[in-house]
Structure 1
Amino acid sequence: MTRPDNRPSRVTPSKKDLAEGRSRGSSRAGSKSTAKGGKAGAEDSKKAARESGSRPKGRVSEAAAPPARTGLLARLFPPRPVGADRVEVVSASADDGGAAEGPADGRRYGAGAILIVFFAAQLLATIAYAMVIPGSEYDPRAVTGLGGAVGQAVNQATTGQAVVISQPVPLWLSTLLQLPLWGALIAGPLWFAAKKGRGIVADLGLRMKATDVPLGLAIGIASQLLMVPALYWVVFKIIGVQDVSAEARALTDRATDPLSIVLVFVIVGIGAPVAEEIYFRGMALPIFRRRVRARWAILASAAFFAATHLQPLQFPALLVFGVILGVLTVRSGRLGPALWAHVGFNVVAAVSLLWNVTLF
């Protein structure tokens, strides 16, 4: 509508239009205020949570979760599954002889690893011996003691040879020559368990409890004082009385001073038990259990343990004692009891030979 002077006329909005406009404006203003209020409230909530030390509900930051183990630490000490110890003990029940663990136990190594470690240990020990003994003044075949020296001198004099008294290998050198053997028997199982297994604790059972010390020592001492005499009472009825301790006496006869006596106990009371238990009961026994029942795996590992000592006269005692050590390991699910039993068994033998205590 135009006025006569061609100027547009002012349109006056109706009351309805004014009401609708006010409604839309208030709605937009409410939305903006709500958004601003929501942001401000969220900021206030976060600030209050930071000040109080708590975390807001909802998404949890990465720092809240415990850091995961990576690298070598994760391989050596992986998280243990719930009830892992129970499985080891229950699987060796007395009723069924313990079912075989089977190949799907997480280990990616088997009997080949046992042979690799064994021959590597023998090779290293042989190399060390060949590098040290031939060029030295010591003779491994020399008889120890005054009687041995006199007998050697008389034999040389009667045969027209120059009298030269051979010196036996001293105990400090014998101890050093054992280190390559022990090192391989310990490092080999540790490497396989860490790199191709579930870790040294899960694979080898390398752990102990406080009660393992008295329990293991008591069983080891009792085995030496009771089992061995009873066993050889039967054996001697069959083959006649013989000197079972001849091999061990060749070692203890060289202990003529306090240092050498200490070295005897280092060899028989620390080095041999630790290395042999990690290898025979920690590594070999579980691998055998993957193929046969627990009772046969215990017997197989005990026979392997006895045979590798290369002492036929001591084989029966080592076999029976190996069975005892295997039962301790399977029943407890760890090496602690067997290790301390091995210590007690060897220490009693060393004491009896050093101080001429007759056991049987």
Structure 2
Amino acid sequence: MSQPLPEAPSVQLKGKGVFLDPLSGSQALRWLLAAFAGFVAGQLFSTGLVTLMAAIKGQSSQLSSLAHSTSPPEWYILSSLFGLWAGFLGAAWAVVHIGRAPRHTLGIRFSSWDLLGIPIGIGAQILIGLMYLPFRSHLKDFDAPITKLTGSSHGVGYFVIIVCTLVLAPIVEEIFFRGVLFRSLAGFSSLVKTLMGKRIILVLAVLFDGLLFGVVHGELIQLPGLALFGALLAVLFYRTGRLGLSIVTHIAFNSLAIISYTSSSGTLFGWH
């Protein structure tokens, strides 16, 4: 009686850094649920913090108008950001502590090579700006997102918002969207045994991560550009196996947008 042939071992993608130790299917699902919970919690924290600050400022009756304002006050912007980021970082905390995953699995590491993110981020900002250039005259309130962020701020408040936009936002968003969300999406490749199947899941993970990154920013006009940039950041994370390069790229990208907007009319780069 012939013996059954042994099952062929599952091939692995040639990842680097944290991707040398891919998540299992069950781990990927838990991380994805943590990302979803973190996003929902961020929305709730943001709403709660804004409501609390409005009560302190005596502006509770104006919350509806402030939410639709083109230039809300500094306290509104900062409360919204810090509440949202609390949820994002909560998701990262959950996968590390509740999921008992070592901290390095998030990929929060840096190298001198990550400085390459400066020209990459600047180049991405220029290319995406050029992509929008033919449509600028047909798009209403094209600079509305960045105007809403900085329009009514001044002095210390303006400085704090700029620091949040240029430094804190890239760090927190990369930890959440790439370190947790993309890591979970890419982890589903472990459920497939063929190399082609794993590659397809990885490509879908890059595209889906970029799309969600764009959607969460809540700006329909800027969605294509943000989705492309989010996908680029996911590729950088996967290629290096650490978040350092994507964080520096994100900082450079945001920096050029802010510099262009504050120094001129933002003709080329102020597209978000």
TM-score class, shorter-chain normalisation, is 0.7 to 0.9
Structure 1 residues 211 and 359, CA gap change in structure 2 (3 angstroms): farther
Amino acid at match of 1:260: G
Which of 107, 110, 131 is equivalent to 1:231? Answer: 131
C-alpha distance in structure 2 between counterparts of 1:104 and 1:256, whole Å: 48
- Per-residue deviation, 1:344: 0.9
C-alpha distance in structure 1 between counterparts of 2:237 and 2:143, whole Å: 27
Partner of 1:208: 110
C-alpha distance in structure 1 between counterparts of 2:91 and 2:18, whole Å: 26
Partner of 1:39: none
Partner of 1:188: 91
C-alpha distance in structure 2 between counterparts of 1:186 and 1:112, whole Å: 14
Amino acid at match of 2:57: S
C-alpha distance in structure 2 between counterparts of 1:358 and 1:114, whole Å: 34
- Per-residue deviation, 1:352: 1.7
Quick check: 1:277–1:335 contact (8 Å CA) kept in 2? yes
Partner of 1:125: 46
- Per-residue deviation, 1:347: 1.4
Q: Which stretch of the first structure deviates more once superposed, 341-350 or 101-110?
A: 101-110
Which deviations, in whole Å up to 9, do the C-alpha atoms of 1:73-113 show, x marking residues without a partner?
Answer: xxxxxxxxxxxxx9523999xxxxxxxx5626866723222
C-alpha distance in structure 1 between counterparts of 2:70 and 2:93, whole Å: 38
Which of 145, 153, 158 is equivalent to 1:261? Answer: 158
Partner of 1:222: 123
RMSD (CA atoms): 2.9
Residues 308-327 of structure 1: matches in 2 within 5 Å?
308-327=216-235
Which deviations, in whole Å up to 9, do the C-alpha atoms of 1:131-175 show, x marking residues without a partner?
Answer: 22256355525565xxxxxxxxxxxxxxxxxxxxxxx42x25532
C-alpha distance in structure 2 between counterparts of 1:182 and 1:102, whole Å: 24
C-alpha distance in structure 1 between counterparts of 2:230 and 2:175, whole Å: 13
Residues 145-294 of structure 1: matches in 2 within 5 Å?
168-169=72-73, 171=74, 174-202=77-105, 204-212=106-114, 214-224=115-125, 226-233=126-133, 236=135, 240-257=138-155, 259-292=156-189, 293-294=201-202
Structure 1 residues 107 and 229, CA gap change in structure 2 (3 angstroms): closer
- Per-residue deviation, 1:253: 1.7
**What are structure 1's unaligned runs of at least 5 residues?**
1-85, 93-100, 145-167
1:335 aligns with 2:243: yes
Which deviations, in whole Å up to 9, do the C-alpha atoms of 1:28-70 show, x marking residues without a partner?
Answer: xxxxxxxxxxxxxxxxxxxxxxxxxxxxxxxxxxxxxxxxxxx
Partner of 1:358: 266
Aligned residue for 2:48, secondary structure, equals helix
Which of 205, 209, 222 is equivalent to 1:301? Answer: 209
Structure 1 residues 135 and 256, CA gap change in structure 2 (3 angstroms): closer
Quick check: 1:107–1:196 contact (8 Å CA) kept in 2? no
C-alpha distance in structure 1 between counterparts of 2:140 and 2:235, whole Å: 29
Amino acid at match of 1:229: G
Which structure shows the bigger proportion of residues in helix conformation?
2
Amino acid at match of 2:251: V
**Larger radius of gyration, structure 1 or 2?**
1
Structure 1 residues 208 and 90, CA gap change in structure 2 (3 angstroms): closer
Aligned residue for 1:254, secondary structure, equals coil
C-alpha distance in structure 1 between counterparts of 2:16 and 2:52, whole Å: 46
Structure 1 residues 143 and 330, CA gap change in structure 2 (3 angstroms): closer
